[in-house]
Structure formats: C-alpha cells, structure tokens
Amino acid sequence: MGTVVDDAASVEFHAFFERHYAELSRLAYMLTGESDAADDLAADALLALWHRWDRVRAADHPVAYARGVVANLARTRIRSAVRERRRIALFWSHREESTENPDIAGVVDVQGALRRLPFRKRACVVLRHAFDLSEKDTALALGISVGTVKSQTSKGMAELQKLLGERGVPQRVHAAMAPRAGQSGGRNR
C-alpha cells in the first residue's frame, strides 16, 4: 500500500513521462540514427529516472538531467556497436571489399553526415539545432561547459558543411531532424 508521498511522486513522474517521452525518444533517434532503439533508450532513461525520482524532481533542471541520461545511454550503445563492428571486421579482415567510384552525392544526407560526427559534436548540433536548446540548456543536458557547447557546435557545423557541401546547413539540419511521421515531436521545455 503506497503512501501519500509515494502517490504524489508517482503522479508527478507520470506527468513528466507524458510531457517528455516523445522528445527523449526523438533525441535518442537523432543521436544513434536507429529508430528501433530510440524508444528503448528513452524508456530505459525514464526507468533510470524513476529509480532516482526523488533526486531528479529536486534538481534545478529535471529535463536537462533526463536528456543527459539519454545522451549517456546513446553513447554507450554507440560504443558497443563500434566494438561489435570492430570484432566483426577483424573476423572478416581476410576479405577485401572496395567500391570503385562510389556515388558519394547519393550516399551523403544530413542524417548520414550527422552519424559521421564524433558523439559530442553530434549531440551539441542535435540539441542546439533540432531541439532549439540554448547553449546553457545543451551544456546542462550533456554535463559540459557552455564554452565546450559553443566550440563543439561550431566545429560540428563546419564538419557538416564540408560533408554536405552547401551553405544552408543549419536549415537542412533542422529540416532533416524534424519528427518522423507517426512521432510526436513537440518541444517541451
């Protein structure tokens, strides 16, 4: 039998879940590029938040804390995938495969280019341009300084511009990161 405090915390967490689940799922998708994993990562993050709900609800910026948890889970997933790919590459290293004259223009799109950025640059670009977060909110979400957000975002955008080869990169990044069909992507702050 729950207490009044437990019931209040449960109601408060449920409201937080309803307000921020779609945003956290979208963030996970943009960081990993894996639509199948996005919902799982958001759910895992929210489960972790529920286990620490007393601390989270007392925090100055609970949403920033939640974004940080998603970013950390996404980083862990990406690192695991990279390690797995390396193991597979070592196993199959005796086979040489190369493509002559690849159609680079047909392969490089905004999301593909984002996946080529190092994680911190990708996270800064996604949070700043897709989620329209301020430098301060991005810093809070990632647990880094505002100066690091500025430099990583600037460097990430420069790399995207090189990869995409066009002037309108910020608009293309914002458009490419719009919620996918069937997803709600309302901005909750």
Residue 85: pLDDT band (50, 70, 90) is: confident
Indicate the SS3 state at residue 130: helix
pLDDT band at 26 (very low <50, low <70, confident <90, very high): very high
Q: How large is the average pLDDT for residues 5-20? A: 89
- Top pLDDT among 57 and 156 is at 156
- The pLDDT, as a whole number, for residue 103 is 41
The predicted structure's pLDDT at residue 170: 55
Least confident of 116-125, 147-156, 172-181: 172-181
pLDDT band at 25 (very low <50, low <70, confident <90, very high): very high
